[in-house]
């Protein structure tokens, strides 16, 4: 699909380095494909150099849609960033009081993230905070835990490395997805949604910074083009998210909501990365089934 060039709307699509690297790699060659890029120091292909401004603002906002660390209570919410890369968002969450875990399939990626975290925890850069928070409530007086784990999101063997006490793995209160879903082969999307439902604590929330919402759905990835309707189909609709047609993506929300998630919020962030061309959206999801109170 991506070997030379594709003609789309009279323009020639020329695959870049990342797409060419993954061209022809099947599902079971994806993880190794990412590790090769880390090992050959090519993380510049996706690295944005700072935490997500949209997530910084959400964490510092007064929104009660996501769990927030409470300074008076010892229990800290537990956050996961799957496919965390250099770990910018992991460190930022810890600086806001979360116990934050970063999952990476690449050993070299985890080593790189640990180096980044050590520097930032010692001397946090201003990118970790909104301009409104400078000199205010953040950074948290006691940052939460930062832990990077080597593992495959689609396997379960790493979950035991994310237990903060003797209680065993009880799920995450917050999971953040940025450029992880779009990094996966489309045929892996359904499993992405299933794993998200397994990894969330019963009252936890999944936050997606939806990207790239502008990219032609028929073009190859990574990043693979996504739409609001694809996230909806996967999480609320219970579908496989294999949508390449704009009209079908538009109509996805009309289908019966057979999926495990409910969307709590859908907002356009005031700040996000420039690469999004002004199209990024934040979606916030929780599981339908929640424990009964009392
Ligand atoms: C496009 S990069 C995004 C990195 C990070 N979210 C960021 O914003 O910088 C995708 C990352 O997911 C990692 N990854 C890919 N497949 C994975 C898997 N199955 N389990 C865990 N990590 C994976 C890759 O090594 C890569 O670092």
DSSP 37-75: HHHTT-GGGT--SS--HHHHHHHHSS-SSS----TT-SP
Please report the pLDDT score of residue 237 as a whole number: 97
pLDDT tens-digit series, residues 95-115: 999 999 999 999 999 999 999
Q: Which residue has the higher pLDDT, 73 or 40?
A: 40
Residue 169, class by beta-carbon neighbours within 10 Å (0-12 exposed, 13-18 middle, 19+ buried)? middle
Atom number in ligand 1 closest to CA 30: 16
CA 222 – CA 209 distance, rounded (Å): 16
- Strands (E) across the chain are located at 6-8, 11-13, 78-82, 99-104, 146-150, 172-178, 200-210, 261-267, 281-287
220 dihedral zone (left: phi>0; alpha: psi -120 to 50; beta)? beta
CA 43 from chain centre, in angstroms, equals 16
Atom number in ligand 1 closest to CA 154: 19
Kindly state the tokens that stand for 221: 């990835």
Tell me what the mean pLDDT of segment 3-8 comes to.
50
Please report the pLDDT score of residue 272 as a whole number: 96
Residue 196 phi, psi dihedral angles, 5° rounding: -60, -40
Atom number in ligand 1 closest to CA 52: 8
Q: Which residue has the higher pLDDT, 102 or 75?
A: 102
> Contact at 8 Å (CB) between 101 and 110?
no
CA 194 – CA 204 distance, rounded (Å): 15
Of 119-128, 130-139, 157-166, the one with minimum mean pLDDT is 130-139
> Contact at 8 Å (CB) between 207 and 59?
no
Please report the pLDDT score of residue 135 as a whole number: 52
Residue 286: pLDDT over 60 = yes
pLDDT tens-digit series, residues 191-209: 999 999 999 999 999 999 9
Nearest to 214 by CA among 273, 284, 286: 273
> Contact at 8 Å (CB) between 103 and 80?
yes
Q: How far is CA 275 from CA 52, 79, 271, 278, 284, in A?
A: 12, 25, 12, 8, 21
171-205 burial string, b = 16+ CB within 10 Å, else e? bbbbbbbbbbbbbbebebbbebbebbbebbbeebb
Please report the pLDDT score of residue 70 as a whole number: 83
pLDDT tens-digit series, residues 237-248: 999 999 999 999
Tell me what the mean pLDDT of segment 32-47 comes to.
98
Please report the pLDDT score of residue 292 as a whole number: 57
Residue 228: pLDDT over 60 = yes
CA 230 – CA 246 distance, rounded (Å): 10
Please report the pLDDT score of residue 131 as a whole number: 82
203 dihedral zone (left: phi>0; alpha: psi -120 to 50; beta)? alpha
CA 151 – CA 156 distance, rounded (Å): 8
Residue 188, ligand 1, Cβ within 6 A: no
Residue 211, ligand 1, Cβ within 6 A: no
Cross-strand partners of 267: 282
Superfamily of domain 41-287, CATH level 4: Vaccinia Virus protein VP39 (3.40.50.150)
Residue 84, ligand 1, Cβ within 6 A: yes
Residue 34, ligand 1, Cβ within 6 A: yes
Please report the pLDDT score of residue 12 as a whole number: 86
> Contact at 8 Å (CB) between 232 and 208?
no
Tell me what the mean pLDDT of segment 6-29 comes to.
86
Of 77-86, 161-170, 269-278, the one with minimum mean pLDDT is 161-170
Residue 1: pLDDT over 80 = no
Please report the pLDDT score of residue 118 as a whole number: 98
Residue 67: pLDDT over 60 = yes
Please report the pLDDT score of residue 145 as a whole number: 95
CA 48 – CA 92 distance, rounded (Å): 14
Tell me what the mean pLDDT of segment 261-280 comes to.
96
Please report the pLDDT score of residue 2 as a whole number: 43
- CB-based contacts of 141: which residues, under 8 Å, 6+ apart? 71
Sign of CA dihedral 226, 229, 235, 240: negative
What is the 229 CA–ligand 1 centroid distance (Å)? 23
- The CA angle 215-218-224, to the nearest 5 degrees, is 50
Please report the pLDDT score of residue 9 as a whole number: 55
What is the 133 CA–ligand 1 centroid distance (Å)? 29
Residue 239, ligand 1, Cβ within 6 A: no
């Amino acid at each position: 699909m991506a070997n030379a060039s594709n003609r789309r709307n009279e323009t020639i699509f020329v695959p870049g380095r990342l797409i060419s690297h993954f061209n022809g790699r099947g599902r079971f060659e994806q993880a190794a494909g990412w590790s090769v890029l880390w090992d050959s120091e090519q993380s510049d292909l996706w690295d944005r150099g700072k935490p997500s401004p949209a997530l910084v603002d959400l964490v510092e906002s007064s929104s009660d849609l996501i769990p927030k660390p409470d300074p008076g209570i010892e229990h800290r919410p537990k956050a996961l960033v799957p496919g965390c890369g250099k770990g910018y968002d992991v460190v930022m969450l810890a600086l806001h009081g979360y116990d934050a875990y970063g999952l990476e399939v690449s050993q070299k990626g985890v080593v790189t993230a640990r180096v980044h975290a050590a520097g930032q925890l010692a001397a946090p850069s201003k990118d970790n905070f909104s301009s409104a928070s400078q000199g205010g409530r953040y950074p948290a007086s006691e940052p939460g835990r930062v832990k990077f784990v080597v593992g495959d999101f689609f396997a379960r063997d790493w979950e035991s490395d994310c237990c903060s006490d003797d209680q065993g793995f009880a799920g995450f209160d917050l999971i953040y997805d940025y450029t992880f879903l779009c990094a996966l082969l489309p045929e892996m999307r359904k499993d992405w949604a299933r794993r998200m439902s397994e990894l969330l604590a019963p009252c936890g929330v999944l936050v997606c910074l939806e990207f790239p919402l502008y990219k032609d759905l028929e073009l190859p990835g990574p990043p693979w083009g996504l739409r609001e309707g694809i996230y909806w189909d996967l999480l609320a609709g219970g579908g496989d998210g294999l949508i390449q047609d704009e009209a079908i993506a538009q109509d996805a929300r009309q289908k019966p909501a057979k999926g495990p998630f409910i969307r709590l919020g859908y907002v356009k962030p005031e700040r996000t990365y420039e690469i999004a061309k002004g199209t990024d959206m934040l979606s916030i999801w929780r599981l339908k089934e929640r424990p009964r109170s009392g």
